[in-house]
Amino acid sequence: MTRSRLVVYLAFVLAVGCKGKSFVEGETPGSAKGSDTEPDKASGDKKPSKPLSAKGDGLDNVASISVGPDRACAIADDKLWCWDPGQPAATLTTPATLTALGGAACGLTSDNGDLYCWGGKEVKAAANALGGQVTSSAGGVCTGHRMAIKCWHLGDAEPYVKFDWAGVDKIVHGDHKLCSVVGGGTIECVDLAAKEWKPDKVSGPTDVAVLSMAGNLACAALVKGTVECWVDPEKRKEVPAVKGATDVSVGATGDACAIYGNGFIKCWHTDGTAVTVEASVKEIGGVRGATALGVGAGFGCAIGAGDKAVCWGKASKEPETAQAVSKK
């Protein structure tokens, strides 16, 4: 398969949205069946007594992971691996083609930082963002390197936005906006539909450690370890029973998860106003030592202990228990 055909194929399977059932919807905390957990006496939380390990041919040595609406991808052993929920991972590119993924839709080449994207249309552009960041949404893709931001509509070879952004941290993509945590833990956003592209401070939390967005929903892990979600930043809602959070990810259908403590994961579901369905806050069994995670539509994946890829949710026999990702 040629690189061009490969990118087009990958574009289609990664960008297709879905409306799968939430992996935490309608459940009460601690009710997951089959979760191999035991109480953490110090914190009162549960922790898995037996961390998952792949049997024989698991996807390990994972360096980065990214989750789209209905597919996940990871960089492992200098190769790009992708899989549907509940299916084995297959390598789809030659080694070292991509160094980073954002929104499971775009990547930067390892040799010169060029941008490759897949969606309804292919994008190949000179991003000049080697070692930078890439993030995407249904509306397009943006890259950032040394405070220089560029954004493309899918199918266009030339960016429609170019601007400088001082103090930018990790850029995240929402509906028609690009946001980032800047100095002091505040959030700045750019309205990509405006005539002038200028980052403006968001009235909201001022101690943000990690920010994630999907559509018009945003969630942030604060420095103090709590998590807040919102559609309107002036009407933020704290997620109950999530403490000590170090990372957070929001999915396309209102599902979200956070890493907390010693790499444990809790997930929840929000309604259209970003109010957490309290009964949906659920610890994911079978995963510990997590260092990164991503959430799709009804499922999530993480890099767990030993740099192994694990997933839970849709298509899992035990939706609230992480399963190691196998390879073909």
The more confidently predicted of residues 114 and 19 is 114
The more confidently predicted of residues 55 and 315 is 315
> Tens of pLDDT along 271-286?
888 899 988 999 999 9
Q: Between the CA of residue 139 and those of 4, 67, 154, what are the distances in Å? A: 21, 17, 7
Q: Chain centroid to CA 161: how far?
A: 24
What's residue 103's pLDDT? 61
What's residue 36's pLDDT? 37
Among 30-39, 125-134, 163-172, 283-292, the minimum mean pLDDT is found in: 30-39
In degrees to the nearest 10, what's the CA dihedral of 104, 108, 111, 112? 170
End-to-end CA distance of the chain: 18
Q: Is 62:309 a contact under the CB 8 Å cutoff?
A: yes
What is the Cα–Cα distance from 227 to 221, expressed in whole angstroms? 5
At 51, list the tokens: 């961390």
What is the Cα–Cα distance from 258 to 227, expressed in whole angstroms? 8
* Domains of the chain, earliest start first: 3-324 (2.130.10.10)
At 40, list the tokens: 């953490």
> Tens of pLDDT along 311-322?
999 888 899 999
What is the Cα–Cα distance from 118 to 14, expressed in whole angstroms? 8
> Tens of pLDDT along 237-259?
999 999 999 999 999 889 999 99
What is the Cα–Cα distance from 273 to 77, expressed in whole angstroms? 41
> What residue type is 258 in one-letter code?
A
Q: Between the CA of residue 158 and those of 8, 112, 122, 196, what are the distances in Å? A: 18, 17, 13, 18
**3-state percent helix, strand, coil for the chain, nearest multiple of 5:** 10, 40, 50
Tell me the residue length of the chain. 328
50-58 average pLDDT score: 56
> Tens of pLDDT along 62-87?
998 988 888 888 888 888 888 888 88
